[in-house]
């Protein structure tokens, strides 16, 4: 089986600083994969390199066998990569349902004239988008907020809207950058259930950056640990949790105490 | 009272010019965080395009078609050609400067403006042209208030255009992408939206609107001049800021407010004092509302 997302020997420099060194990754369709590491390890940089925000200095990145290195973000998104952000990238002052409708952008094929004269194609597509948007809001349990401005929602609900928005682009792989940051323990448990449901219903592969071990242990089949731009350990969660190098990276060397 | 109503109609007419032009400023700023200082001169170019098309169509269709049909045809064709100018400004002028410091984009706008002005001088010479009347002016007298059908037309066409734009921004996918870009930039490409579509489209709409304002302006004040866009452009810029960053509604309202203040100041004071007093009032308003009417806190990161 060929991997859905494959990164080979990816290295990136910011000026003279080597931010990511020889990063390799292969995620199969439907797999949930975790990326952990201390602050400043370069986790978000890895996300940005794969999603086309930066172009890697060296290495190759392919999605379903197609090169996506150096490809513009909007094209990579259309090829089936969805993403959420660590600090939320929502459109304040836009309501919840418009967020999800917006995410259907590349699925709407009507032209400018169609938009102005309200052709049947346009109406049909817009209706489908509306229905699909409400369905997604239900799955992510935010349908009660549909017509509210995003800024008025509780933080956890905002995160779920962002994830619903990413799912609306019909991704084959979903990148989640710290999906539980700032969440209460209740919201955390709910998020685990939602991710499990999304994974089951949509069969989407997930690549996530996450700090909370409970979350990672519960969801991920495999984990990579990144420290100073280098992968120091890779394997199933139980193995990673007991790996002395990983413990050292997070807590420091034992003899320092 | 008649005197007041008389001035009210004049204020609405002037406000319509400012409103339609300042929307172009405001949209480009809202979507791309860029002050397009060439916008006043895009208005000038649009007026000249309108002049050319109007002259051509009058020569071709005058006895055959009624005046209002020609008027609508002139508006549509001019909008189309002017929006092409807007796209060229974005693609040639601003696109290579993405990621460049903000000041570079600002002076680019100023330079494009100068290129348009002097280019016009070279192409058409220094003589002034007169915009042909597309609609035969008819005066009405209602209870001592005099107004012409041209004034009413200017106000109505402006309002219709603004309503159409509002629908476009609220309902279509491009409009939604524009709104989204003005709030948070980085998530928009992940929705499959290309900035290289949205940016030129924004410029095209701004230029198209400015050109209609030019045609309407030409119906009220028929003298064309290569430098006609400068002062109008500055005033539209003021209106865009006064309305609040990227707020179309704000820019429109501020445009009308500007028209009202100018006309009513001239009603009370000698007309040489008009701009001095009018803009002192705007300055005072901005002191108390530095973000304008509908402005909100936002990041100042340059996007284009």
Q: Which residues of B touch A104 (CB under 8 A)?
A: 173
**Burial of A255 from C-beta contacts in 10 A (0-12 / 13-18 / 19+):** exposed
Residue of A nearest to B175 (CA): A102
Q: What pLDDT, on a 0 to 100 scale, did the predictor assign at position A252?
A: 66
Select from A105, A169, A170, A171 the residue whose CB has the most chain B CBs within 10 Å, as the one to mutate to test that interface. Answer: A105
Q: What pLDDT, on a 0 to 100 scale, did the predictor assign at position A32?
A: 93
Mean pLDDT of B194-208: 94
- Tell me the two tokens of residue A243: 């790996």
User: With an 8 Å Cβ cutoff, is A160 touching chain B?
Assistant: no
Q: Are strands A17-27 and A5-14 parallel, antiparallel or unpaired?
A: antiparallel
User: With an 8 Å Cβ cutoff, is B194 touching chain A?
Assistant: yes
Instruction: Name the residue ranges covered by the structural domains of chain B.
Output: 19-234
ipTM surpassing 0.85: no
Q: pLDDT tens digits, residue range B25-57? A: 999 988 888 889 999 999 999 999 999 999 999
- Tell me the two tokens of residue A81: 């990569």
Q: What pLDDT, on a 0 to 100 scale, did the predictor assign at position B42?
A: 97
pLDDT beyond 50 at B303: no
CA distance linking residue A241 with residue A246, whole number of Å:
7
User: Mind telling me how many Å the CA of A84 is from chain B's nearest CA?
Assistant: 8
- Beta carbons of B190 and A53 less than 8 Å apart: no
Taking the C-alpha atoms of B195, B200, B204 and B207 in order, what is their torsion angle to the nearest 10 degrees?
110
CA distance linking residue A257 with residue A251, whole number of Å:
10
Q: What pLDDT, on a 0 to 100 scale, did the predictor assign at position B302?
A: 42
Q: Compare CB distances from A93 to B173, B183, B187 and report the shortest one's residue.
A: B183
User: With an 8 Å Cβ cutoff, is A72 touching chain B?
Assistant: yes
User: Mind telling me how many Å the CA of B77 is from chain A's nearest CA?
Assistant: 15
| Cβ–Cβ < 8 Å for A156, A187 | yes
Residue ranges of chain A assigned to CATH 3.40.50.300 = 1-44+52-82+189-257
pLDDT beyond 70 at B298: no
Name the pLDDT band for A155 (thresholds 50, 70, 90).
Answer: confident
pLDDT beyond 60 at A72: yes
pLDDT beyond 70 at A237: yes
Taking the C-alpha atoms of B214, B219, B221 and B226 in order, what is their torsion angle to the nearest 10 degrees?
40
CA distances from B43 to A82, B48, B229 (A): 41, 9, 6
- Our CA angle for B134, B135, B140, nearest 5°, is 155
Q: What pLDDT, on a 0 to 100 scale, did the predictor assign at position A40?
A: 81
Mean pLDDT of chain B: 89
What is the phi/psi pair of residue A146, to 5°?
Answer: -45, -45
First to last CA, chain A: 47
Q: What pLDDT, on a 0 to 100 scale, did the predictor assign at position A186?
A: 87
- Beta carbons of B179 and A85 less than 8 Å apart: no
Name the pLDDT band for A253 (thresholds 50, 70, 90).
Answer: low
Q: pLDDT tens digits, residue range B147-187? A: 889 999 999 999 999 999 998 888 888 998 998 888 877 88
Q: Which helix (H) or strand (E) holds A49?
A: helix A43-50
Q: How many residues would you count in chain B? A: 304
Reported in sequence order, the residue ranges of A86-200 that DSSP labels E, i.e. its strands, are 173-177
pLDDT beyond 50 at B299: no
Name the pLDDT band for A256 (thresholds 50, 70, 90).
Answer: very low
What CATH number does the domain located at A1-44+52-82+189-257 have?
A: 3.40.50.300
| Cβ–Cβ < 8 Å for A77, B191 | yes
Tell me how many residue pairs between chain A and chain B have CB atoms under 8 A apart.
76
- Tell me the two tokens of residue B134: 């597309």
Q: Compare CB distances from A102 to B168, B191, B195 and report the shortest one's residue.
A: B191
pLDDT beyond 50 at A257: no
Q: Which residues of B touch A147 (CB under 8 A)?
A: none
Q: What pLDDT, on a 0 to 100 scale, did the predictor assign at position B80?
A: 96
Residue at token pair 């009202």: B260
- Beta carbons of A90 and B187 less than 8 Å apart: yes
Lowest-pLDDT choice from A109-118, A220-229, B54-63, B207-216 = A109-118
What is the phi/psi pair of residue A36, to 5°?
Answer: -120, 170
Q: Chain A neighbours among B 149-178 (CB < 8 Å)?
A: 168, 171-174, 176-177
Q: What share of chain B is helix, strand, coil (3-state, %, to 5)?
A: 75, 5, 20
pLDDT > 70 fraction of chain A, expressed in percent and rounded: 97
Nearest CA to B231 out of B80, B17, B74, B66 is that of B17
Name the pLDDT band for B291 (thresholds 50, 70, 90).
Answer: confident
Q: What pLDDT, on a 0 to 100 scale, did the predictor assign at position A251?
A: 67
Nearest CA to B266 out of B275, B256, B257 is that of B275
Out of A4-8, B144-148, B286-290, B299-303, give the one with best mean pLDDT.
A4-8
DSSP structure class, residue B58: H
CA distance linking residue B240 with residue A234, whole number of Å:
54
Q: What pLDDT, on a 0 to 100 scale, did the predictor assign at position A255?
A: 54
User: With an 8 Å Cβ cutoff, is A78 touching chain B?
Assistant: yes
């Amino acid at each position: 089986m060929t991997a859905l997302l494959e990164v080979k020997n990816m290295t990136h420099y910011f000026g003279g600083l080597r931010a990511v060194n020889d990063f390799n990754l292969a995620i199969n369709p439907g797999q949930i994969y975790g990326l952990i590491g201390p602050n400043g390890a370069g986790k978000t940089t890895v996300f940005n390199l794969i999603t086309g925000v930066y172009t890697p200095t060296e290495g190759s990145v392919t999605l379903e066998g197609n090169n996506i290195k150096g490809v513009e973000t909007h094209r990579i998104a259309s090829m089936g990569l969805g993403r959420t952000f660590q600090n939320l990238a929502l459109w304040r002052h836009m309501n919840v349902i418009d967020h999800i409708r917006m995410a259907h952008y590349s699925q709407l094929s009507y032209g400018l004239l169609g938009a102005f004269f309200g052709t049947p194609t346009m109406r049909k597509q817009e209706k489908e988008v509306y229905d699909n948007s409400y369905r997604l809001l239900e799955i992510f349990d935010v349908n009660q907020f549909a017509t509210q401005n995003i800024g008025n929602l509780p933080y956890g609900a905002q995160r779920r809207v962002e994830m619903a928005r990413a799912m609306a682009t019909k991704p084959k792989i979903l990148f989640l950058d710290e999906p539980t940051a700032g969440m209460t323990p209740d919201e955390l448990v709910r998020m685990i259930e939602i991710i499990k449901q999304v994974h089951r219903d949509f069969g989407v592969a997930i690549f996530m950056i996450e700090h909370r071990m409970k979350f990672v242990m519960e969801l991920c089949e495999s984990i990579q640990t990144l420290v100073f731009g280098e992968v120091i350990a890779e394997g199933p969660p139980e193995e990673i949790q007991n790996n002395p190098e990983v413990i050292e990276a997070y807590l420091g060397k034992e003899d320092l105490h | 009272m008649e005197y007041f109503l008389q001035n009210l109609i004049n204020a609405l007419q002037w406000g319509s010019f400012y409103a339609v032009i300042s929307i172009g400023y405001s949209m480009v700023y809202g979507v791309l965080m860029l002050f397009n200082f060439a916008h006043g001169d895009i208005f000038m170019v649009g007026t000249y395009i309108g002049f050319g098309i109007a002259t051509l169509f009058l020569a071709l269709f005058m006895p055959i078609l009624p005046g209002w049909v020609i008027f609508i045809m002139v508006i549509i064709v001019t909008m189309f050609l002017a929006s092409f100018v807007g796209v060229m400004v974005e693609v040639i002028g601003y696109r290579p400067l993405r990621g460049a410091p903000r000041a570079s984009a600002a002076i680019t706008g100023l330079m494009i403006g100068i290129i348009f002005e002097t280019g016009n001088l070279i192409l058409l010479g220094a003589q002034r042209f007169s915009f042909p009347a597309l609609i035969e002016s008819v005066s009405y007298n209602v209870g001592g208030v005099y107004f012409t059908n041209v004034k009413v037309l200017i106000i109505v066409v402006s309002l219709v255009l603004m309503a159409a734009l509002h629908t476009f921004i609220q309902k279509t996918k491009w409009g939604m992408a524009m709104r989204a870009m003005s709030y948070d930039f980085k998530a928009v490409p992940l929705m499959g939206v290309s900035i290289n579509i949205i940016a030129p489209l924004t410029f095209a709409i701004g230029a198209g609107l400015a050109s209609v304002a030019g045609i309407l302006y030409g119906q009220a004040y028929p003298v064309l001049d290569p430098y006609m866009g400068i002062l109008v452009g500055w005033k539209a810029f003021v209106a865009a800021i006064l309305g609040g960053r990227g707020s179309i509604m704000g820019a429109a309202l501020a445009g009308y407010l500007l028209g009202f203040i100018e006309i009513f100041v001239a009603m009370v004071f000698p007309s040489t004092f008009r701009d001095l007093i009018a803009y002192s009032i705007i300055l005072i308003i901005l002191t108390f509302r530095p973000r304008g009417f509908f402005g909100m806190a936002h990041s100042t990161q340059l996007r284009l």
